[in-house]
Structure 1
Amino acid sequence: MWTIWKEELYKITSRKIIWLSLFLLLAFATTRLYDERCHYTTTIEGTVYHGKEAIQKDQALASRYLGLLTEETVAQIYKDYGFFYYDAKGNAIGNYLNRFVTEEFTNFRQTDGNNLDEIHFYEGSDWENNSAYLLRNNVRFDYVYGWNDFAEMYILIILALFVILILGLSPVFAEEYQLKTADLLRTTRRGRGSGIWMKLLAAACFAVALTCAASAYMWGIYLTVYGVQGLNASSLLLNFATGFGYCPESVLGFFLYITCLGIIGSLLLTGIVTGISALCQSSFLALLFALSGYLFPVLWVKLLGYMFPLNIVLTRSINHFMTSMPVYLPMSTGFGFSVNQMLLHLSIAFVVGVAGMFVGYFRYRYH
């Protein structure tokens, strides 16, 4: 039976479109990070630094303020460096510290950012709604600029990688119908049983391996540029984390969490795509329906859910189902879901993934 597993894995990995797409995707991530590193600037005591030196200067500067983030820390940073702003030419004037304080504790985002007279600390309800949570949750402060960028890029790369997985997995069963080779495996009792499961196992192994490889590559290039500083800081410093719902405490924990969600999402996607593949008579139709199914939750959450108002309980149930699907699962932290809601979403993902594989198995076996 392991021969079938190896043959199916070889068949999937022999599709050149997968490796070309993966190369272009990772090349995009690498080029963007290189460009970010080259154009990184910081201003400290009137001196402007660029590139790798600027990153090191900001990291060293942030090291002076390690520890719990308090009002005293914010006030001291403002006293030492003032507010961050853009000059008349659009150049950033400031460093990581005062940029963090300016963006998180002032009305900077409600201004053009180029007039210091318009920038002021939040007050009253604005302070409570936008900034207070950073001072009430024992936030450990450190340099997390690079990890902020990593969070956004990692999720983007994983979601694009899922499209590549769809390209690779859509033909698993549909191609055999098209080539009239489906009966070869089903001629023996063992082939109709464990042989089909080996095909599904090969698809799942490929999906997990590709997701882990892409994750390791992303981790590697960001560690090369930014080092390990900031991984022990509080995850609330990241733009992708919220003060509401479940979120791991540290930056490292946060990234391990979304990495695991990415792997779970790849397994869920495998179940869905193989089920669709077994229901379609051609690889093109399988690809078309798989891509449509992958993107439909976005269409529902962004548009259809508002166009067709339903009972509030039913609407919430549908929304929870949609946000349990692969296109939303890796970015669950941005929705502020509670622990119970995340457990519900993972349960839905498990049921849908297993159901997809059973559909694929029985449809292919009795086709």
Structure 2
Amino acid sequence: MRLYKMELFKLFQNKIFKIGMLAATGLLFLYFWFAEVGGEIATVDGKFYSGYEAVQMNRKITEEFEGDLTDEKVNQIIEKYGLPTKLEENMPGWRDGNFLNDFGTRYFTNGAWENGVLPTERYSLGETELGKAYDEIGKTPYLAYTTGWKVFVEML
């Protein structure tokens, strides 16, 4: 074990190793920024946002609904933001969606932008895979917009 620690110490003393680690971290950050943040979109009250602006807007609109997820909360989200319906060929995601109505469409309707299926049916929380999974573990799903890029439904 001592030999292992000594070898790690020698490695971390090497300038090239430090520069390489810094460069690799920088490249990962750039990839994350352009791949995740750059592709983020949101349409709120008829105004279109993209990139970091969309992240900020999605965070803002989600604050109102953050917390335990219920059928009433899902209905409020859909009533306020509607269900997205605009798809463009070779473009990922709903063109008229935001974090909340995309979440509602993805988990509580039969719509799926990946397959080009517009939402026509709505389901209650208990009828969805999400609701069934949480019933099995005896917990309530929690809705939050975390880290600014992905939906995260966590167990509390």
> TM-score, with normalisation over the residues of structure 2?
0.69
Whether the aligned pair in 2 keeps the contact of 1:70 and 1:135 (CA below 8 Å) is no
1:269 maps to none
Matched position secondary structure for 2:83: coil
Cα drift, residue 60 of structure 1: 1.5
Distance (Å, rounded) in 2 between the aligned partners of 1:24 and 1:85: 42
Distance 1:37 1:70, change over 3 A: same
Once the two structures are superposed, the pairs formed by residues 111-260 of structure 1 within 5 Å of their partners are 112-113=115-116, 115-116=117-118, 118-122=119-123, 127-128=127-128, 130-133=129-132, 136=135, 137-144=139-146, 146=148, 148=150, 237=153, 249=156
Whether the aligned pair in 1 keeps the contact of 2:11 and 2:17 (CA below 8 Å) is no
Distance 1:72 1:40, change over 3 A: same
1:56 maps to 56
Distance (Å, rounded) in 1 between the aligned partners of 2:5 and 2:114: 59
Whether the aligned pair in 1 keeps the contact of 2:55 and 2:148 (CA below 8 Å) is no
Whether the aligned pair in 1 keeps the contact of 2:37 and 2:149 (CA below 8 Å) is no
1:29 maps to 28
Distance (Å, rounded) in 2 between the aligned partners of 1:57 and 1:6: 47
1:82 maps to 82
**Count of matched residue pairs:** 146
Distance (Å, rounded) in 1 between the aligned partners of 2:80 and 2:133: 20
2:98 maps to 95
30-39 or 138-147, which deviates more: 138-147
Distance (Å, rounded) in 1 between the aligned partners of 2:71 and 2:44: 22
Matched position secondary structure for 1:121: coil
Structure 2 stretches of 5 or more lacking a match? Answer: none
Q: Which has the higher strand share?
A: 2
Whether the aligned pair in 2 keeps the contact of 1:83 and 1:102 (CA below 8 Å) is yes
Whether the aligned pair in 1 keeps the contact of 2:37 and 2:52 (CA below 8 Å) is yes
How much is the aligned-residue C-alpha RMSD, in angstroms? 3.6
Matched position secondary structure for 2:140: coil
Whether the aligned pair in 2 keeps the contact of 1:105 and 1:131 (CA below 8 Å) is no
Distance (Å, rounded) in 2 between the aligned partners of 1:51 and 1:82: 22
Distance (Å, rounded) in 2 between the aligned partners of 1:121 and 1:57: 25
Q: Which has the higher helix share?
A: 1
Matched position secondary structure for 1:84: coil
Whether the aligned pair in 2 keeps the contact of 1:82 and 1:98 (CA below 8 Å) is yes
